[in-house]
Amino acid sequence: MEYAVDIVFHSLQYLAIIVFFDAFVLRKYQADSFWWRVAVFGAAFHVLSQVNNDFFKYFQALAMVLLLYVVLWVLYKGDPLYHLFLSCMTYTLFCAVDYLIIFFAQMFCLTDSFQQHYDRVTTQVFIRILSALSFAFFASLFHKPADEGKSIRKWTLVSLLFPLSSIFLLTFFYHAFGDAPTSEESLYGVIALCLIGVCNIAVLFSRDYLKKSIREHEMLVVLKERERTQKESITALSAAYRTQRKMTHDFQKHLSVLSGLLENGNARQASSYLSQLRRDSTERILLVDTHHAAIDAILNQKGMAAQQKKIDIRFEVNDLSGMKIKETDCTVVLGNLLDNAIEACEKLPECERWIQVSVIHTPAEGEEPGSLFLSVLNASPFVKISSGQIATTKQNASFHGFGLRNVRDILKKYQADYDFHYENGQFVFSVEWPEC
For residue 110, give every residue at least 6 positions away whose Cβ sits within 8 Å of its Cβ, in sequence order, or none: 120, 123, 124
Q: Do 211 and 313 lie in a common domain? A: no
Q: Do 216 and 320 lie in a common domain? A: no
Q: Do 211 and 322 lie in a common domain? A: no
CA distance 277 to 197: 81
**Per-residue confidence (pLDDT) for residue 379, from 0 to 100:** 94
What is the DSSP pairing of strand 312-317 with strand 354-362?
parallel
Q: Domain for residue 275, yes or no? A: no
Q: DSSP of 211-247, one letter per residue?
A: HHHHHHHHHHHHHHHHHHHHHHHHHHHHHHHHHHHHH
**Per-residue confidence (pLDDT) for residue 284, from 0 to 100:** 52
Q: Do 208 and 298 lie in a common domain? A: no
What angle (nearest 5°) sits at the alpha carbon of residue 30, between those of residues 27 and 36?
Answer: 95
**Per-residue confidence (pLDDT) for residue 70, from 0 to 100:** 94
CA distance 168 to 278: 81
Number of domains in the chain: 2
**Per-residue confidence (pLDDT) for residue 399, from 0 to 100:** 44
Q: Domain for residue 231, yes or no? A: no
Q: Which of 186, 221, 256 is the last residue of a domain?
A: 221
Q: Which of 221, 256, 271 is the last residue of a domain?
A: 221
Q: Do 195 and 55 lie in a common domain? A: yes
Q: Domain for residue 234, yes or no? A: no
Q: Domain for residue 110, yes or no? A: yes
Q: Do 164 and 84 lie in a common domain? A: yes
**Per-residue confidence (pLDDT) for residue 117, from 0 to 100:** 46
> Is residue 36 classed exposed, middle or buried when 0-12, 13-18 and 19+ CB atoms within 10 A define those classes?
exposed
Q: Do 299 and 195 lie in a common domain? A: no
Q: Do 298 and 207 lie in a common domain? A: no
Q: Do 175 and 58 lie in a common domain? A: yes
Burial track 101-121 (b if 16+ CB lie within 10 A, e otherwise): bbbbbbbeebeeeeeeeeeee
Give Dmax over CA atoms of the chain in angstroms. Answer: 128
* 0.85 exceeded by pTM: no
CA distance 218 to 211: 11
Residue from 59, 93, 103, 70 nearest 162 by CA: 93
Q: Domain for residue 274, yes or no? A: no
pLDDT tens digits in sequence order for the chain, 436 residues long: 567 777 888 889 899 999 999 999 989 888 888 989 999 998 888 888 777 655 556 677 888 899 999 999 999 988 888 899 999 999 988 888 887 777 776 666 554 554 444 455 667 778 888 888 888 998 888 888 876 666 677 778 888 888 888 888 877 766 666 555 555 666 676 777 788 888 888 888 888 888 888 778 777 876 776 676 667 666 666 666 676 677 677 777 778 888 888 888 888 888 888 887 776 654 455 678 888 888 888 888 888 889 889 999 999 999 998 898 888 888 888 988 998 899 999 999 999 999 999 999 999 888 888 899 999 999 999 887 766 666 555 544 444 455 677 788 888 888 899 999 898 899 999 999 998 7
Q: Do 363 and 216 lie in a common domain? A: no
Q: Domain for residue 314, yes or no? A: yes
Q: Domain for residue 143, yes or no? A: yes
Q: Domain for residue 249, yes or no? A: no
Task: Give the CATH number for residue 369.
Answer: 3.30.565.10
Total count of residues recorded for the chain: 436
Q: Which of 221, 247, 274 is the last residue of a domain?
A: 221
Q: Do 195 and 322 lie in a common domain? A: no
Structural domain of residue 387, as residue ranges? 286-436
Q: Do 217 and 317 lie in a common domain? A: no
